[in-house]
Amino acid sequence: MISTTRVHLMRALTAGAAVAAVALSLAACSATDDKAASTPSTSAESPALAALADLQKPLDAYPVPTEPIEGVDADKGGTLYYIPITQQSPEFAVDQAGVEAAAAAVGMSVQVCDGKGTPTEVSACIDHATNAKAAGIILDAVPYDIAANSIAAAQKAGIPVVIGNQLADDRHPSTPTFTYTAVSGSAQQEALARWVIADSDGKANVLMNVTTDGQSQIQYAADGKKVFADECSGCTVATNEVSSANFSQVPSSTSSALLKNSDTDYLIVEFAQFLQATQSGVQNAGASGRITLAAGSASLNDIKAVASGSVGAATAQASAFVGWMYVDATLRLIAGQSVPEYTIPIRLFTKDTMGDVQLTEAAQESGEWFGPTTFTDEFKKLWGVA
């Protein structure tokens, strides 16, 4: 079981991701008008910063649901369609591996379709799954609105649809054939903000490369910025917009933002898929010697960069667990059961707290960075296939 302290910490850090707060406009994310001193608050001695030490350790146990699923037939088969918003992000490869392993445990196969970051491609993937009479559709980081008609058509056909890595949209509530799962984006940005505050002794000049691919991504960054506003009176924060659609422009926009904000000493990359492109921008601006990088949604190569010292800190979610969670939610929809409130473990990685971290693909895909790998057996027991 997870300790009470860990449960309270995880709930506190994921609270911002559970419900969307006031949405930021895209204009509010531009580097041209967003730099401002944070409001006075608790400084780098805030008790909230003490939670960082706990976040740098693995869990005692994963937060697996406790309610079993009735009627799972491992011999029935069927195909799940896994559709990430884009396969450009390494994180989704780990999610996918988890989905495939979990599906295999219940005798199901997985068909993967790359959304390629566009509404047209995402909709085409969903339509293909619907026409193929999929057993279920898992949409990873896909905003409902970019494929609303296709999602509605899938539900009308009686195909369960699960959206993960996106905040729940009140305009499109859950139904007996549709649900959202937990997200960790806000928790990761809040953790990075608190690490920067602590590392800088409450005197950081921060540039955030904020992803504008959707409202969820914008909200995650807003929650991170709020930590600076509430807890670091000596910090300043500026933002620079980046997006998957304009990936090639990330180096130039980053260097421009750094030249404009010449006192920047910390740069937070919201999603690590943009980390390498951001580093190119830092080099182009001649700022490599003075910038400390931090990144969210990190994968193996990004954690290796932390270990080498080229990145100061990174957060990651337990993506292997996420894949099993997706299948658990899908199976519950198939069985006509309610879907529980999941919690996604995250971890903060820094160079001096990585003694137990095995930097291998096997370790990443097993989930051992975040806790005991027995969570897979626990899911199987819930599904009656152990």
Task: Judge if 20-55+185-297 and 79-181+318-345+372-383 fold alike in CATH terms.
Answer: yes
pLDDT at 219: 97
DSSP structure class, residue 176: T
Angle, CA of 306, 308 and 309, to the nearest 5°: 65
Query: How far is 129 from 39, CA to CA, in rounded Å?
Result: 49
A 10 A CB-CB count for 117 gives 20
Alpha helices in the chain (DSSP H): 4-18, 51-55, 90-105, 119-131, 148-156, 185-199, 215-231, 250-260, 275-284, 300-308, 319-334, 361-366, 375-383
Query: How far is 176 from 333, CA to CA, in rounded Å?
Result: 7
* Domain ranges, ordered by start, for the chain: 20-55+185-297, 79-181+318-345+372-383
Per-residue tokens: 248: 């090639």
Whether residue 26 is predicted with pLDDT greater than 90 in this model: the reply is no
Query: What band does 386 get if pLDDT is binned at 50, 70 and 90?
Result: confident
Per-residue tokens: 291: 């910038």
Per-residue tokens: 168: 């729940």
How are the residues of the chain apportioned to helix, strand and coil, as percentages rounded to the nearest 5?
45, 15, 40
| CB-based contacts of 145, cutoff 8 Å, min separation 6 | 169, 172
Query: How far is 135 from 152, CA to CA, in rounded Å?
Result: 16
Angle, helices 4-18/215-231, rounded to nearest 10 degrees: 120
pLDDT at 117: 87
DSSP structure class, residue 386: -
Per-residue tokens: 159: 């195909």
Residues 230-289: pLDDT tens digits? 999 999 999 999 998 889 999 999 999 999 999 999 999 999 999 999 999 999 999 999
Per-residue tokens: 181: 């799962």
Query: How far is 139 from 162, CA to CA, in rounded Å?
Result: 6
Per-residue tokens: 163: 């959206």
pLDDT at 12: 37
Place of tokens 């199987």: 380
Is residue 335 within 8 A of residue 298, CB to CB? The reply is no
**What is the average pLDDT value for the chain, to the nearest integer?**
88
Residues 77-131: pLDDT tens digits? 899 999 999 998 899 999 999 999 999 999 999 999 999 989 999 999 999 999 9
Span of 71-75, 76-80, 175-179, 353-357 with lowest mean pLDDT: 71-75
Is residue 357 within 8 A of residue 300, CB to CB? The reply is no
Is residue 341 helix, strand or coil?
A: coil
DSSP structure class, residue 70: T
**More reliable by pLDDT, 69 or 70:** 69
Per-residue tokens: 204: 């950081």
Instruction: Name the CATH code of domain 79-181+318-345+372-383 (choices 3.30.365.10, 3.40.50.2300, 3.40.50.150, 3.40.50.620).
Output: 3.40.50.2300
Rounded to an integer, the average pLDDT of 139-157 is: 97
Secondary structure (DSSP) of 85-139: S-TTSHHHHHHHHHHHHHHHHTT-EEEE---TTSHHHHHHHHHHHHHTT-SEEEE
Place of tokens 């069927």: 78
Query: How far is 126 from 138, CA to CA, in rounded Å?
Result: 9
pTM (two decimals): 0.86
Q: Does domain 20-55+185-297 correspond to CATH entry 3.40.50.2300?
A: yes
Whether residue 3 is predicted with pLDDT greater than 70 in this model: the reply is no
Residues 192-208: pLDDT tens digits? 999 999 999 999 999 99
| Beta strands at 79-84 and 266-269: parallel, antiparallel or unpaired | unpaired
Per-residue tokens: 30: 């531009």
Query: Dihedral angle at the C-alpha atoms of 209, 215, 221, 225, nearest 10 degrees?
Result: 120
pLDDT at 43: 45
Of 312, 280, 281, the C-alpha closest to 298 is 312
Query: How far is 145 from 172, CA to CA, in rounded Å?
Result: 9
Is residue 94 within 8 A of residue 82, CB to CB? The reply is no
- What residues form DSSP beta bridges with 109? 79
Whether residue 324 is predicted with pLDDT greater than 50 in this model: the reply is yes
Alpha-carbon distances, residue 311 vs 20, 46, 98, 141, 350 (angstroms) = 30, 24, 27, 25, 9
